């Protein structure tokens, strides 16, 4: 899975738009794409942060990618944020997406990695990202519900 030679280009994503109800575009990411995105992330972590020993996943979207990174790179997964503060220089914080950037702003000065980065909407620039997404579509990951809102309930 990790560093299979040639890194993948932009991933296939399924887009939907309901013109009658004027529902914004949604992109549904499948598990195969998640594996490719995590593989890209692991490649970048190994290349840019070779001394990383610990990984922390932001609740909720970063948990699954962080565990996948942990398994792929053999990094210790840390579930307690206070430990990350003590191990800041040897850790990376993972999230699924940097859309508005508000969640990751709390971790300025930490090494951060995301699956998708939206530079045109984000107020934060992560250290690493697997895919730069220039569109305004709402990205739905396989661990999310199909009817998930564009602003998650825990961010309201």
Q: What is the CATH number of the domain that holds 137?
A: 3.40.50.2020
Under a CB-based contact definition with an 8 Å cutoff, are residues 7 and 43 in contact?
yes
Does 5 fall in a domain? Answer: no
In a domain, 4, yes or no: no
pTM comes to: 0.81
Q: What is the rounded distance in angstroms from the CA atom of residue 123 to the CA atom of residue 134?
A: 14
3-state secondary structure of 34: helix
Provide the domain limits for residue 125: 14-147
| Residue 129 counted as domain residue | yes
Tokens 């962080």 belong to which residue? 66
**What is the pLDDT, as a whole number, of residue 135?**
86
pLDDT, tens only, 65-123: 999 999 999 999 999 888 888 888 899 999 999 999 999 999 999 999 999 999 999 99
pLDDT at site 20: 53
Partnered with residue 128 across adjacent β-strands are 113
Q: What percent of the chain has pLDDT over 90?
A: 63
């Amino acid at each position: 899975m990790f560093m299979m030679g040639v890194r993948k280009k932009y991933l296939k994503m399924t887009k939907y738009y309901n013109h009658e109800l004027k529902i914004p575009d949604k992109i549904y990411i499948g598990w195969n794409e998640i594996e490719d995105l995590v593989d890209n992330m692991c490649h970048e972590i190994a290349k840019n942060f070779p001394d990383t020993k610990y990984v922390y996943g932001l609740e909720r979207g970063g948990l699954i990618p962080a565990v996948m990174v942990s398994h792929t790179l053999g990094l210790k997964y840390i579930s307690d944020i206070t430990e990350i503060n003590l191990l800041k220089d040897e850790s990376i914080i993972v999230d699924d997406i940097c859309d508005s950037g508000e969640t990751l702003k709390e971790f300025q000065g930490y090494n951060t990695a995301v699956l998708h980065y939206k530079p045109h909407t984000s107020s934060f620039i992560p250290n690493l990202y697997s895919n730069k997404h220039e569109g305004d579509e709402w990205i739905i990951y396989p661990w999310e519900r199909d009817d998930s809102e564009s602003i998650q309930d825990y961010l309201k």
